[in-house]
Amino acid sequence: MCVPRCGREWTISGPESDDEPFTLTSFPWMKHTRNDFGEPFNVREPKGPFLDFVTEQIISISKSYGLIMNSFHELEGKFIDYWNRECEPKAWSIGPLCLAESQRNELQPNQKPTWMQWLDQKLAQGSSVLYIAFGESELADKFEERVKEKGIVVREWVDQRAILGHESIQGFLSHCGWNSVLESICARVPILAWPMMVEQHLNASMVVEEIKVGLRVETTNGPVRGFVKWQGLGKMVRELMEGEMGKEVRNNVGEFGEAAKKAMKEGGSSWHTLNQLIDELQALRGDSLKLCC
């Protein structure tokens, strides 16, 4: 498969099986499978409207002055440095942007939504809570009735950051959308990765294999897109929140959460990067004015 990257074309000899791991040329410790990629990028000769759309995006990006990334150097520094060394346009990591929002005022008990009151109850009982968010509209028949003694289903919009920041939350079962990953890291909550589509499988690999702030759900037959049974899911939930493997990722997410907070403070890595971006743009604007004159 030929992939345009960094202004040149790389030829990648793909694996024979959809679940056979292959390594990335510049990051050999990271392994992926063809199943980590969605259509049409999991076939040898991708084509179709979506590929055309992505190609147009890549062309537009290549003509831009730069990329602003919702990340921070302590999390993805080696990848960002590689990009800026080998590729164009330049990338600036100025996140996590979820930490740029001003501090919320604490709600009074009578102002708290039902789900926050429920979390408060669990905290008072000394219970640990697993937060599950997939955005799916359908649930199994009588599911809410079956879980009402130990869980709560919330159908309306919720403040995910407030949930992840609640002291009772000790794990996040997530599809690994990037915003969810960053919000979980900033709240220092470990992730149980269950990717579904688009870039979520790649994000899950980052979460589990590279930065090690989470574990992956267990499939019955091994493939990353394999079937997940409730027994295997329960096993990995317990491991995440109580086990030895979970202990490592809980420690890691705590360290990255602290690093994210420092990155956004004055003098932090993202603070410096934003200042560099502003300085470059001001200098570029000054040069343009001179040329116009």
Residue 90 lies in a domain: no
Q: What are 24-57's pLDDT values in tens digits?
A: 777 777 777 887 887 888 777 888 998 899 899 8
Q: What are 70-127's pLDDT values in tens digits?
A: 999 999 998 899 989 988 899 999 999 999 876 666 666 677 888 999 899 999 999 9
Strands (E), the chain: 2-5, 8-11, 22-24, 27-32, 66-69, 90-93, 129-133, 169-174, 191-193, 214-216
Can you give the CATH number for the domain in which 212 is found?
A: 3.40.50.2000
The domain in which residue 239 lies consists of 110-262
pTM of the model: 0.85
Average the pLDDT over 5-30 and give the result: 65
Three-state SS for 185? helix
Q: What are 226-240's pLDDT values in tens digits?
A: 788 888 899 999 999
Name the burial class of residue 88, with classes exposed (0-12), middle (13-18) and buried (19+) by CB atoms within 10 angstroms of its CB.
Answer: middle
> Which of the pair, 190 or 209, is modelled with greater confidence?
190
Residue 100 lies in a domain: no
Contact, 215 vs 104, CB < 8 A?
no
Question: Mean pLDDT of all residues in the chain?
Answer: 85
Number of folded domains that form the chain: 1
> Which of the pair, 9 or 45, is modelled with greater confidence?
45
Token couple for 112: 């708290």
Residue 94 lies in a domain: no
Residue 247 lies in a domain: yes
